[in-house]
Amino acid sequence: MNLERVSNEEKLGLCRKYYLGGFAFLPFLWLVNVVWFFQDAFIKPAYTEQLQIKAYVKRSGLGLAVWVAVLTTWITIYQHYRSQWGEMGDYLSFTIPLGIP
């Protein structure tokens, strides 16, 4: 979809849909929001819907940052301590590497 050919109201609608969709534990939708609408929100010259789009993009960015932080922290902790957690670590794991603790 080429955003050039879409009207501003439709752009706002899209941005809002992706923003709301991200709350269903789908941070990638927020990532898409940020990347896709970044130019429209911050770089293009002003138009009526830009303020709202800007707000949505900022909030999506914030949500994305929170998710990234949480996931990075959890992944680091898990990778580091899984072998020390013994049984609990094995129950949390979907696949366990062969031959290493």
Partner 1 sequence: MDLISTKWIIHLLLYCLFHGVSCNSVDQKIYIKLNDTVPCVRLLNATHQIGCQSSLAGDVGVIHFLESEENLDWVLSTGPSPPYMVILESHLFNRPIMMKLKNSFSRIAGVAVIKPSSSPIQGFSPHTTCPNENTGVYSESYDPTLAHCNTTVWNPIGNGLSYEEFNFPIFSLKDDNGTEVIRQCYLNHNRVVNGSAPSYPLCAMELSSHMHAVTNTVTCMRRSSNGAFSLNPEVVCDPLGNNNVWGSTKSLNNTATGHSENETVVIAAARLDSRAFFHGISLGAESSASGFITLLAAAGALANVTRENHPPRTILYTFFQGESFDYIGSSRMVYDMEKDNFPIDLDNIHSFVEIGQVGLHNISGLWLHSDPVSRRNNSIDTEVMSLTDVFQKVANDLNISLNLSDVSQPLPPASFQRFLRSQPIPGIVLTDHHTHFTNRYFESMYDNTEYLNLTFPADLPPEQQFTYITDTAKGLAKVATMVARTLYKQAGGADEMLASINADELTVAQMLYGFLVQTKNPWFEAIIIPEYQPLLGPAPPEYYVGVITNNTFTTKLVSYVLANLTGIAVNISRENCTNHREFADDAQSTDMNSYLWVQGVTPPNGTEPEGYCVRSTVRLTQAQSPAFLLKEYHSSNYSTWSESRWKSNIGARIFLVAGHDLEMLTLGVGVAILLISLLLTYFVNSKADFLFSSGREPANATY
Residue 4 or 87: the one with the smaller Cβ distance to partner 1 is 87
Binding site for partner 1 (CB under 8 A): 86-87, 90-91, 93-96, 98-101
- In the complex with partner 1, which residue's Cβ is closer, 8 or 93? 93
CB 87 to partner 1: min, Å: 7
Q: Give 32: exposed, middle or buried? Use CB within 10 Å, 0-12, 13-18, 19+.
A: middle
Q: How far apart are CA 2 and CA 22, in angstroms?
A: 22
Could you tell me the smallest distance in angstroms from the CB atom of residue 31 to partner 1?
Answer: 27
Contact 18, 33 (CB under 8 A): yes
**CA 32, CA 30: separation in Å to the nearest integer?**
5
Q: Which is nearer to partner 1, 45 or 101 (CB)?
A: 101
Min separation Cβ 71 and partner 1, Å? 19
